[in-house]
Amino acid sequence: MTDTAALFEPVKMGNATLQNRVLMAPLTRNRAHSDGTPKDIAAEYYQQRASAGLIISEATQISALGKGYLDTPGIYTDSHVQAWKKITDAVHERGGIIYCQLWHVGRISHTSLLPNGQSPVSSSAIRANAQTFTANGFEDTSEPIALDKSGIEATIADYVNASEMAKKAGFDGVEIHAANGYLIDQFLQDGVNKRTDEYGGSVTNRTRFLKEVTEAVLSVWKPGEVGMRVSPLGQANDMSESTPIILFGNVYDYALEKNLAYLHVVESFPGNEQSPEDENFMKELRERYKGFYMANGGYNSETGADAIINHHADAISYGRPFIANPDLPERYKTGADLNEADQDTFYGGGKEGYTDYPFMNT
182, 199, 293, 299: which one is catalytic? 182
Supply the pLDDT for residue 275.
86
Q: What pLDDT is attached to residue 1?
A: 53
Q: Provide the pLDDT for residue 2.
A: 67
Residue-level pLDDT at 72 = 98
> Are 346 and 45 spatial neighbours (Cβ–Cβ below 8 Å)?
no
The secondary structure of 120-182 as a DSSP string is: PEESSS---S-EEEETTEEEEPPPPEE--HHHHHHHHHHHHHHHHHHHHTT-SEEEEE--TTS
Closest-CA residue to 12 (of 307, 316, 292): 292
For residue 20, give the 3-state DSSP assignment: coil
Give the count of alpha carbons within 13 A of 185, CB side only.
30
Q: Chain-centre distance of CA 314, in angstroms?
A: 17
The pLDDT, as a whole number, for residue 274 is 79
- Residue numbers of the chain with a pLDDT score lower than 50: none
| Residue-level pLDDT at 118 | 97
The verdict on whether 182 is a catalytic residue reads yes
pLDDT on residue 105: 98
d(CA 348, CA 67): 16
Report the distance separating Cα 296 and Cα 298, nearest Å.
Answer: 7
CATH 3.20.20.70 is right for the domain spanning 4-345: yes
Nearest Cα neighbor of 48 from 341, 360, 355 is: 355
